[in-house]
């Protein structure tokens, strides 16, 4: 069904994905016994190169897929048959009734990472709809205390601080209760300015309330940060394109720490299909890393982005399918729960 040129391109990409070595005409016939000669393949390769689907690393090297080649592969050439193993594994995880959202995402991502050999990532972004749901204080020892903030999306932040002996725990509790009453329901981004306005009132409750005020102010600020979790970082470092070069290993580690990297994921992706996006190379000014990602909506919690990150030479086929399956299964699960028929 595929014409000869497409078929050769498909083989080259799949071979390169597997071996990480440039693919030559001879290698191809030796490994796939094709009904034509190496010379024919050479001719086709030349045409594929002219069209920008393949590249050479040097004049007498084999061919390597270009970004355009990968894109064409994903859109037209990849196998779309479902691998039921991923689906089965995910269902097993998700059908445990006693799962928390944290565990569901964690275990799903770990499975995805394991089965695709890619890094998986969950990015929980702050929407403007996130508000403070609760502010509480738990006394710790004689003159220290833990304050806990919870949002209506289930995000939790806590800090422990010391206070002066001459502050009465009673006053402190009343003060926190007051703040709780006044701040609950405030959107996360509005918390800091609102807290500023409340400063004078704090001093009505506690003579020397500055420590308390500053502590709460600081902690409220961190509530607004996006949360990021990654699984299987070592998968990327183990890829041959990185594992042999200390410089590149360091680069990848830096990348994982860099905040711009995560923004890139949700912003500059090249849209492909449904809610799944693929970005081939060009991640954070690097051309050797690709990302497949999808948005999922968790009822009550909000929108999260789940991504698989790997070398540009990743198995897009498998990655795409894995993400697709995860999104399907999660949505199915959440729908089930919302209907209350579990």
Residues of this chain that bind DNA (CB under 7 A): 4, 21-27, 35-40, 42-43, 45-46, 49, 56, 58-63
Q: Which of the stretches 11-19, 101-109, 118-126, 324-332 binds its own copies when contact is defined by CB under 8 A?
A: 101-109
Q: Least separation, in Å, of the C-beta of 154 and its own copies?
A: 4
26 versus 82: smaller Cβ distance to DNA = 26
Residues 176-215, one symbol each (x = binds its own copies by CB under 8 A, - = not), give: ----------------------------------xx--xx
Judged by beta carbon distances under 5 to 8 A according to partner kind, the member of its own copies, DNA, none in contact with residue 164 is its own copies
Examine residue 98 and tell whether it contacts its own copies (CB under 8 A).
Answer: yes
Judged by beta carbon distances under 5 to 8 A according to partner kind, the member of its own copies, DNA, none in contact with residue 75 is none
Pick from 100, 128, 197, 285: which binds its own copies (CB under 8 A)? Answer: 100
Buried/exposed 172-206: b ≥16 CB within 10 Å, e otherwise: beebbebbeeebeebbbebbbeebeebeeebeebb
Examine residue 340 and tell whether it contacts its own copies (CB under 8 A).
Answer: yes
252 versus 278: smaller Cβ distance to its own copies = 252
Examine residue 59 and tell whether it contacts its own copies (CB under 8 A).
Answer: no
Q: What one-character DSSP code corresponds to residue 129?
A: T
Distance CA 178, CA 204 (A): 11
Judged by beta carbon distances under 5 to 8 A according to partner kind, the member of its own copies, DNA, none in contact with residue 27 is DNA
Strands lying side by side in the sheet with 227-231: 227-231, 119-124, 302-311, 289-298, 276-279, 270-273
Of 320, 326, 331, whose CA–CA distance to 74 is shortest? 320
Distance CA 266, CA 256 (A): 15
288 Cβ neighbours under 8 A, 6+ residues apart: 241, 281, 311, 312
Examine residue 281 and tell whether it contacts its own copies (CB under 8 A).
Answer: no
Q: Least separation, in Å, of the C-beta of 57 and DNA?
A: 7
Judged by beta carbon distances under 5 to 8 A according to partner kind, the member of DNA, its own copies, none in contact with residue 46 is DNA
Q: Least separation, in Å, of the C-beta of 215 and its own copies?
A: 6
Give the containing element (helix H, strand E) for 84: helix 84-94
58 versus 339: smaller Cβ distance to its own copies = 339
């Amino acid at each position: 069904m595929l014409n000869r040129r497409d078929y050769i391109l498909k083989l080259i990409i799949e071979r390169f994905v597997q071996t990480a070595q440039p693919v030559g005409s001879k290698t191809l016939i030796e490994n796939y016994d094709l009904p034509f000669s190496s010379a024919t393949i050479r001719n086709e390769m030349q045409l594929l190169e002219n069209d920008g689907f393949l590249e050479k690393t040097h004049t007498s090297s084999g061919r390597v897929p270009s970004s355009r080649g990968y894109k064409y592969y994903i859109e037209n050439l990849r196998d779309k048959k479902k691998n039921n193993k991923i689906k089965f594994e995910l269902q097993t995880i998700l059908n445990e009734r006693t799962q928390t959202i944290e565990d569901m995402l964690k275990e799903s991502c770990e499975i995805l990472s394991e089965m695709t050999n890619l890094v998986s990532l969950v990015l929980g972004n702050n929407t403007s709809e996130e508000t403070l749901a609760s502010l509480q204080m738990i006394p710790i020892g004689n003159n220290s205390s833990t304050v806990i903030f919870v949002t209506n999306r289930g995000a939790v932040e806590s800090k422990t601080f010391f206070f002066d002996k001459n502050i009465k725990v009673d006053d402190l509790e009343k003060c926190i209760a007051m703040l709780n009453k006044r701040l609950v329901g405030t959107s996360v981004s509005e918390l800091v300015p609102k807290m500023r306005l409340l400063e004078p009132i704090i001093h009505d409750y506690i003579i020397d309330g500055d420590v308390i005020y500053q502590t709460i102010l600081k902690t409220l600020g961190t509530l607004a940060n996006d949360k990021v979790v990654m699984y299987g970082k070592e998968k990327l470092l183990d890829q041959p394109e990185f594992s042999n070069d200390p410089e590149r290993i360091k680069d990848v580690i830096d990348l994982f720490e860099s905040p711009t990297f995560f923004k890139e994921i949700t912003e500059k992706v090249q849209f492909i299909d449904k809610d799944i996006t693929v970005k081939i190379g060009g991640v954070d000014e690097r051309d050797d890393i690709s990302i497949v990602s999808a948005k999922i909506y968790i009822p009550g919690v909000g929108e999260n982005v789940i991504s698989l990150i790997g070398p540009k030479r990743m198995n897009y086929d498998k990655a795409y399918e894995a993400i697709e399956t995860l999104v399907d299964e999660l949505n199915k699960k959440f729908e089930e729960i919302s209907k209350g028929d579990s």
